[in-house]
Structure 1
């Protein structure tokens, strides 16, 4: 299971899943920890993102999805991604 592979707390994941089923988004979102987000996201400065993407590419990942949330200033985030992240990986 992917959660176990990343050493994530399965009981906490069940709590989140149960809260989501009930529509209790406050409990669900409040139960998510940074350790839970890290394996499934790419975030930070453009350089930090480029480093993580490079590591993921070396591990065999072949596709990435850029999606919301992408930061408090969406326009700035899109500009940074298009100017400093995507060009880093164009061949």
Structure 2
């Protein structure tokens, strides 16, 4: 139940000219926790798992699951950052 409370939504434009996408983001403790990296973010659209993202020690977003390009990863990562700002 606690994990469901942590789920939040972000709206991102991955393809210019198309409507923004609403994605569900679920923070989850990473299995490879370092001092700088404590969370992985599971990103879903409807019930489909789109990707899993983590921020590295330089706060650059990396994909551990999924097939997005780095530009899309950065857009989603920036929206996650904005959620916590």
Q: TM-score, normalized by length of structure 2?
A: 0.29
**Which has the larger Rg?**
1
Please identify which structure carries the higher helix content.
Answer: 1
TM-score under structure 1 normalisation?
A: 0.28
